[in-house]
Amino acid sequence: MTAARAGRAFRMLLALVCASACTDAKPVQDVQPWPELDALFRQDTRWLGGDGAYSCDLGHNRVLWLFGDSLIARDASGNRDTAYFIRNSAAIQTGYDPARAFLAFSWGQTDGHPGSFIAERGDRWFWPGACVRAGAGLLIFGQWLRQTSPGQWGFTSVDSASLFIANPDADPGDWQPSDTAAPSFGSDPIFGTAAGLTADQLFVYGNRGASHDYVLARYSRAAAAIGDLTHPDYRTSGSWCTPGSSGSCTPSSIFSDGAPESSVHLDANRQIWLMFQTEGFGATTLAYRTASAPEGPWSAPISFYRPPASFDENAFVYAGKAHPEIAGGGLAVSYVPSRFSDDPRPSPADFYFPHFVRVSL
C-alpha cells in the first residue's frame, strides 16, 4: 500500500513536470540586433532620444517616425543632462534601406526653445499612436494627456486624438494638423494604439482600462484618405455595428491583456495579420500575435526575444512594434529600453533611444 501511494505521488509529480514543460514551439526563425538601424537614430547631435517610435510609409521613399517624450539638446554638445524635454517629436526617413537612409528630426518651438512637434493644448499634451497614409492625406492617431500628480506615473489619458495632415509630402514643418472629429469616448477607450490598412478599409485599434483590453473601429479607406473619421463601425461581441443604426453600438473588447502600444500589419507572404508588442511590464520581452483578419480572433502573444536591457530586474522596456516599411532584409521590430525612475543608477547612454532587431519569420 505504501509503495502504491508512493507510485501515485511519483506519477502526479511527473505529470506536473510534463505539464509545466509544455511550452510553445519556437515561433520566430531568427532574431538579430540591427545596429545599423539603431545608428540611424543616433546621428542627430540634438535629438537625444524619444520613446513611442511609431512609423508609417508616406510613399515616395519617405517614412514618418513619431516619438513620444523626447530629449532635445540645447546645443551640439549633445548633453542629456541639460536637454529640453518635450512631449513628442517626429522624423522623416528618406530611403527605406537603413544602410542608405537618413533621418531628419522635427520638433516645434515654444518661447524660442524646442517644443513639442504637436503642440500642447492648455495643460494637455499629445503622445502619438499609429499613423497611416490611406491616400493623399495622412492620419496621425494618439492621445491627449495631462499630469494629475507628480512623478513618472502621475499622468492620465484625457481623450483619443486623431489628426489629419492634408499635405504629408511637404516638410513636416509645413504641416497643419487638423482634428478629424472622430467620435470620442473620453479616456476609455483610447483609440489609435495601432492601425491597419486593407484595400478598402482602415482598422484602428484602441485599448481600455488597466488591463488594456483591445477594441477596434473600422472606417472606409476612401473616407479616411480625406480625414473623414465621422462614420466608424465598431467591433462588438464578434460582429460589426454602426452607430446611429438600430440598437446601441459601442466597441467591446476583442481580446484582453493587450499592450499599451503595438503595431498591426499584414504579412503579405503568409496572408496573416501580425501585431507586435512588448509582453509583460518592466523587464519585458518582444512578442507578437497573429490573426487571419484584422478583427481577429487574435492569438495569445508569443514572446520571441528578450532585449539585453531586460536582463536587468529594474528594467522598463516598452514600446514594442514592427516597422514593415523598413527594407534591408527581415522585419524591423523596435523597443525602447529604460529603467524605472526610482533606480539611482545613471542610465546607459543608449537608453531611451529606439532599439531595433531584425526578425526573420
Partner 1 sequence: MARRLLPLLGLLLALPARAEFLPELPRAITRTDTASRDAPVVELAYDGRAHAALGGELGLWRWQPRGWQVRWLAGALIAADNAQSRGPVPMELGRWQFGGAIAVQLPGADTASAWEFAVGLWRQQARTVGDFRLPDAFKADAIAFGGSGYVVEFDLALRRMLGPLHATARVSDRVHVPGFALLFGQRVWADAVGDALADNLSHQPSIDLTLRWPIAPGWQPVWALHGELFVPLDSFVTTRGYLRSWLGVALPGPRGELVPFAVLDVGAGAGLLINRDELRLGLGVRYVPR
**Under the criterion CB under 8 A, does residue 349 sit at the interface with partner 1?**
no
The residue from 180, 284, 334, 338 that contacts partner 1 (CB under 8 A) is: 284
Among 249, 302, 327, 361, binds partner 1 (CB under 8 A): 302
Interatomic CA distance for residues 117 and 106, integer angstroms: 7
Q: Nearer to partner 1 by C-beta: 243 or 308?
A: 308
Stretch that binds partner 1, among 94-102, 149-157, 277-285, 332-340 (CB under 8 A): 277-285
Residue 324: half-sphere exposure toward Cβ, Cα within 13 Å: 17
Q: Pick the closer one to partner 1 by CB: 11 or 121.
A: 11
How many CB atoms neighbour CB 236 within 10 A? 18
Stretch of residues binding partner 1 (CB under 8 A), selected from 91-99, 132-140, 264-272, 294-302:
294-302
Contact pick of 183, 303, 343, 350 for partner 1 (by CB under 8 A): 303
Residue 316: CB minimum distance to partner 1, A: 10
Rounded CA separation 206/157 (Å): 13
**Among 228, 306, 325, 350, contact with partner 1 (rule: CB under 8 A):** 306
Q: Interface with partner 1 by CB under 8 A: which range of 87-95, 108-116, 154-162, 304-312?
A: 304-312
5 binds partner 1 (CB under 8 A): yes
Give me the 227-266 binding string for partner 1, x by CB under 8 A, dash otherwise: ------------------------------x---------
* C-alpha to C-alpha distance for 171 and 159, rounded to whole angstroms: 28
The residues, any chain, with a CB within 8 Å of residue 35's CB and separated by 6 or more, are none
Q: Nearer Cβ to partner 1, position 186 or 209?
A: 209
With H, G, I as helix, E, B as strand and everything else as coil, classify residue 136. Answer: coil
301 lines the binding site for partner 1 (CB under 8 A): yes
Q: How far apart (Å, rounded) are the C-alpha atoms in residues 257 and 259? A: 7
Phi then psi for 114, rounded to 5 degrees? -55, 135
CB of 330 to partner 1, least distance (A): 14
Asked whether position 210 contacts partner 1 by CB under 8 A, the answer is no
Q: Pick the binder of partner 1 from 149, 150, 311, 345 (CB under 8 A).
A: 311
DSSP conformational letter for 5: H
8 A C-beta contact, residue 70 and residue 47: yes
Contact 355, 335 (CB under 8 A): yes
Helices (H) and strands (E) in the chain, counts: 3, 24
Per-residue contact flags (x/-) with partner 1 for residues 12 to 51, judged by CB under 8 A: -x--xx-xxx-xxxxxx--x--------------------
List, as one string, the DSSP characters of 231-254. Answer: S-EEEETTEEE-TTSSS------S
Assess 83 for contact with partner 1 (CB under 8 A). Answer: no
d(CA 207, CA 187): 10
Output the CA angle 313-323-259, nearest 5 degrees: 45
Contacting residues toward partner 1, per CB under 8 A: 1-3, 5-6, 9-10, 13, 16-17, 19-21, 23-28, 31, 257, 279-285, 287, 300-306, 308, 310-311, 313
